[in-house]
Structure 1
Amino acid sequence: MKLNGLEKIEKLPEDKENVEEVIISKIRELIVSKHLEPGDRLPAERDLAERFGVSRNQLRQAIQKLEFYGLVKKYPQSGTRISNIGVTALNGMMSDILQLQNPDFKSLVETRIILEKNAVRLAATRRTESQIHQIKKAHEAYSEKAIQGLDAIEEDLMFHIKLAEASNNSVINSLMLIITPEIIAHFVKNKICDKEENFLLIKEHQAIVDAIEEKNADKAVASLNDHFKELYKYCNKQ
């Protein structure tokens, strides 16, 4: 295998997303320089991590992102291979992925709103009893912390992810998993919520839960719109 183009990354960024970006850039360089070509098997995880000077976990995360976008594929008996779609297409798609690493916040929010409106509409008609139970549990976990004025980012994230899961649409669910964590973390980090606002958010969550439990799609979307009012306002200030 043509591996003489592999060079160690001299200084890794501190941010996890930036590390992934650097690793993807390095793999892209190997493809553009023809040290790796469509259909080639990637070097062993340990070897590639050592040559790049990154941890195996960091490398794994970057490769998982490439796999999600279909640029590499894992095969049970022959490891991970570069997708056989041509160098020009691979180069262009990797460039697009790298540009997606740091999308503007407003675009993320707009995309999330489009996705989640469709998610709750589908959830109201498709959810199972088990899924409504999971949504309620996530809502309760969020409420317990929010009432006390505690940081509930993870609980809020889990609530919205459970809504997406209940849509029973795997693509919507996957896209929500990609964009929602960054939005919620950014929103909470840059906006101080007092207890009064926490109680309002709990009430809004409950309205969404009730609508999905009642299998009322229109009510679910309307409740979500109410919940997004503050997000709209905050986004428009950016």
Structure 2
Amino acid sequence: MSETTRSKQRLSDVVAQTLQDEILGLAVGERLPTEAELAERFEVSRTVVREATRLLVQRGLVAVSPGRGMTVAAVDGSVIAEQYGLLLRLSEGSFEQLMELRLVLELEMAALAAARRTDDHLAELTRLNERLQAADPSTSEFLDADLAFHEQIAQASGNPFFLLVMRPVNDYLSDSYSAGAGYPSEAGHTVQEHLEIAQAIAAGDPARARFAAENHLRRIVRHRATLTSSRQRE
């Protein structure tokens, strides 16, 4: 790599970091200076500004669109979640190891939800369970309601990092379960176990919520050969 290229990378990093510090204090949707204005401000070439912009887009901090230029994006962790989802698909980890991760996370997630849930959270958990009960287990509607229930528990926990982790995990599980012909046969257990988890959260009982979540997840581990495709079991 040439000295010029290394210099450009260092400059773009400096510009990106400076802009990042400023962006964190701005409102979502606020427009940032143009490429020409940034080049003049930092006394760098437009190439350096474009590279800095690319870095900010990768970090999920800005959006670039025709006519509006660069604007502040909502920081929702979607970029990190996307990368995490790719890592799950590319890794050599097994379904059982993914379930180990869920056991570590979701038991405490359910316990925290029981302690911190709001009326809105409880209403959404009820709605999702009603949707689950009404759906045909062989359709995507049932699977979507199943996974959305777990994301809502993450939401109710009051910890945004749980939701950041759960979304890509659920995307991975959606692919695994969709390819497994036996997933619908476990529907009755899923409905009942979700009801028990929701009831424990509604009761504000962390220990009971933790127990209900563990019972649900360990049943999935026991029946994983039924739930997932042969590809996922290899």
Do the two structures share a fold, i.e. TM-score over 0.5? Answer: yes
Aligned-residue offset at 1:201: 1.2
Shift of 1:80: 8.0
Aligned letter for 2:117?
Answer: R
Aligned to 2:27: none
Which residue of structure 2 lines up, in the alignment, with residue 205 of structure 1? 194
Taking a change above 3 Å as real, the CA distance of residues 230 and 98 of structure 1, as seen in their structure-2 partners, is: closer
For 1:156, give the aligned amino acid: D
Q: 1 CA distance for matches of 2:7 and 2:176?
A: 35
Aligned position for 2:90: 102
Q: In structure 2, do the counterparts of structure 1 residues 179 and 149 end up closer, same or farther at CA, with 3 Å as the change threshold?
A: closer
What does residue 173 of structure 1 align with?
163
1:80-104, Cα deviation, whole Å (9 max, x unpaired): 89xxxxxxxxxxxxx9997566233
Tell me: CA distance 1:96–1:145, structure 2 relative to 1, closer, same or farther (3 Å): closer
| TM-score, normalisation: structure 1 | 0.58
Aligned partners of 1:124 and 1:214 also within 8 Å: yes
Q: How many residues align?
A: 173
Deviation at 1:237, TM superposition (A): 5.5
SS of alignment partner, residue 158 of structure 1: helix
After the TM superposition, which residues 178-193 of structure 1 pair with which residues of structure 2 at under 5 Å, given as runs? 178-193=168-183
Q: What residue in structure 2 maps to residue 67 of structure 1? A: 59
Q: Which has the higher helix share?
A: 2
* Residue 114 (1) aligns with residue 104 (2): yes
SS in 2 for 1:38: helix
Residue 39 of structure 1 and its aligned partner are, at CA, apart by: 3.1
- Which ranges of structure 1 fall in alignment gaps of 5 or more residues? 1-29, 45-59, 82-94
RMSD (Å), alpha carbons: 4.1
**1:178 to partner: Cα distance:** 2.4
Shift of 1:63: 7.5
TM-score between both structures, scaled by the size of structure 2: 0.59
Correspondence 1:145 to 2:140: no
Q: CA deviation at 1:188?
A: 3.9
Spell out structure 1 runs of 4+ moving beyond 6 A.
30-33, 75-78, 95-98
Structure 2: give runs of 5+ residues left out of the alignment. 20-33, 36-53, 73-82, 226-231
Q: CA deviation at 1:202?
A: 0.6
Higher alpha-carbon Rg: 2
* SS at 1:168 equivalent: coil
2:216 equivalent to 1:224:
no
TM-superposed deviation, 1:225: 1.2
Offset of residue 79 of structure 1: 3.9
Instruction: Label 1:213 to 1:181 Cα distance change in 2 as closer, same or farther (>3 A).
Output: same
The answer for the alignment partner of 2:14 in structure 1 is: 39
Please name the residue that 2:146 is paired with. 156
